[in-house]
A and B are shown apart, each in its own frame.
Chain A
C-alpha cells in the first residue's frame, strides 16, 4: 500500500481532483476545496523535500507499476524537490489572496479556481517528468492553463493578451516537439537518463538542430530578451493573483527545463555557445529594468522587472562548472524571485484594489493608508535589489563569486548595474507612496484593503527576505542528485 500513498503521484493527482471539483462546485465552495487541496500539497512537498534532502538521493515512482521504457517514470531529485516546494509555498498564500481578491467578482473566480488547479497539476508533473515527450505534454498543460488564466477576466485587452501569449507559447512548444521528434528519430528513445550518455559532441547534425530548436522554443516560453514581447501585456493585464502565479512560477517552469536539458543530455553540445544565453540575459537585465523605470502603470513596472530578473537566470550558463556554484546561484535566484515577485504583484494588486487606479502616480499617499502592503512591496524590492539578508542577495553573491572565480568580469558589472537599476524602479514607487501627498478628492478615500490581501502579500515578501537566513538548507537540497 505504500505505493498508493506515494507523494510523487499525489502531487499531480490532487490538483487535478480539486480543479475538477472546483469547476463543479462553483467559486465559493470551490475556493475552499482548492485551499484545502493546496495545503495538503504543500505538506506533501515539504515531506518530499525533507526525504530527498536527508536521503541524499533522488526518489523515483513508476506510474501504475509500469517503469520506463514502456511506462512513465517520475523522478524527484534536489532541484525538482526545491521547485515543488517553491511552487506550493507561493501557491498557498496566493490562493488565500485570490479568495479575498475575487470576493466581489464571481465571474472571474468561476474560472480561476479550476484553471489554477490544472496549472499546478501541469507544473508538478513537469518538475517530476523524466522523459522528453511527457515534458512536452506538461509544457502544453501549463501553457494552456496559463493562457486561460490570463484571459479569464474576459475584457478585450485581456483576451488579446491571452491570444498573443497563446501563439507565443504554441510556437515555443511546437519547436520543442519538433526537437523531440528529431531526437527520437536519431536515438529511438526520449528518456532523459538513457539519452544523456548517448549524445556527444560528434552527434549527427539532426541532433544539433534538435537541441537548438528545443532550447530556442523554451527561451521563447521563458520570455528571454528578445523573445519577451508577449510577457508584459499578459502579466501586466491579468488580475493580480494570476500575474503573481505566472511571474513567480510559470516562466520558471520552462527555465527549469532549459537547465535540465543543458546539464543533462545537451551538455556535450552546449560548451561553445554558453555565452549566448548570458549575453541575452544581460540585455534582458538592462532592457527590462529600463522599461520598468519608465513604465506608467504599476503592474507593467512589475512585469518588466520580471523580464530583468529572468535575465539573471541566464547569466549562470557560462559559469556552470564542477564546483556547482553557478547552479546554486540559479536555484537560489529562482526561489528568491518567485517569492518576491509573487509578493510584489500581490501588494501592487492590493494597492490598485484600494485606489481603483493602476498608474504608478496613483499610489501617491498610500503609505499612511496601507502600510502593510507598502512594507511588503519594499521587502520584495529588497530581494530584487539584492540587499542582505534576502534570498536575492545570496543568489547575486553566489553569482558574483562564480563569475570572479572564472574571471568573467563583465558579468559582475552587469549584476551590479542590474541591482542599481532595480533600486531605481523600486524607489520610484516608494517615493510616490511616501513623499507625494494624495491629490484632491482622493485624499478622503476611506476604502481600506481587506487584511487578507495585505497580510498574504506580506508573508510572501517576508519569506523572500528570510530565505537568505535559511539559504544553506536550500543549497544542500539543490545539491542532491544534480551532478552527473
Chain B
C-alpha cells in the first residue's frame, strides 16, 4: 500500500465520521467540529490520491488551500450564528421545528 493510498483511506474514514457527526450530534459546537473533520477528510483524499509515482502535484495543494479558506469562512459563520442563538435562547442545541 502506497503512502498516497494510506492518506486517502484515512481521509475517507475521517470524512465518514464527520458526516455522521454533523447529522447525528445535537450540540452545535460538536457539529461544527465534525464539519471541520469532514473537510479535512476530503482534503486528505485530494492530496493523497494525487500523488503519482512519488511526484508531488501542486494543483491539488492549491485546491486544498482554497478549500481551507472556504471552510474557515463557513466555520466562522457557523460560530457567529451559534453565539447569537445561545444569546437568544441560552441553549447550544437547535430548537425543535414547528411543522406547519
| Chain A residues proximal to chain B, CB less than 8 Å | 133, 136-137, 140, 144, 147-148, 151, 154-157, 159-160, 162-164, 166-167, 170-171, 174-175, 177-178, 180-182, 184-186, 188, 233, 295-297, 300
Contact = CB atoms under 8 A, between A and B. Distances in A.
B19 A174 contact: yes
Q: Which 10 A-B pairs have the closest CB atoms?
A: A185-B49, A181-B46, A296-B100, A156-B88, A181-B45, A178-B42, A177-B42, A159-B85, A140-B70, A174-B38
Contacts of B38: 170-171, 174
Contacts of A178: 15, 41-42, 45
Contacts of B49: 181-182, 184-186
Interface of B: 8, 11, 15, 18-19, 22-23, 28, 31, 35, 38-39, 41-43, 45-46, 48-50, 52, 57, 59-60, 63, 66-67, 70, 73-74, 77-78, 81-82, 84-85, 88-89, 94-95, 97, 100
Interface centre among B18, B42, B46, B73 (most CB of A within 10 A): B42
A174 B35 contact: yes
Contact of B31 (A151, A167, A175, A185): A167
Contacts of B59: 184
A296 B100 CA distance: 6
Contacts of B88: 155-156, 159
Contact of A148 (B41, B77, B85): B77
B78 A300 contact: no
A3 to B, nearest CB: 24
Given A166-B78, A174-B18, A133 B63 contact: yes
Given A181-B49, A188-B50, A297 B67 contact: no
25 contacts: A136-B67, A144-B73, A147-B81, A156-B89, A159-B81, A159-B84, A160-B85, A160-B94, A164-B94, A170-B35, A171-B19, A171-B38, A174-B19, A174-B39, A174-B42, A177-B42, A178-B45, A181-B46, A181-B60, A184-B50, A184-B59, A185-B50, A186-B49, A295-B100, A297-B100
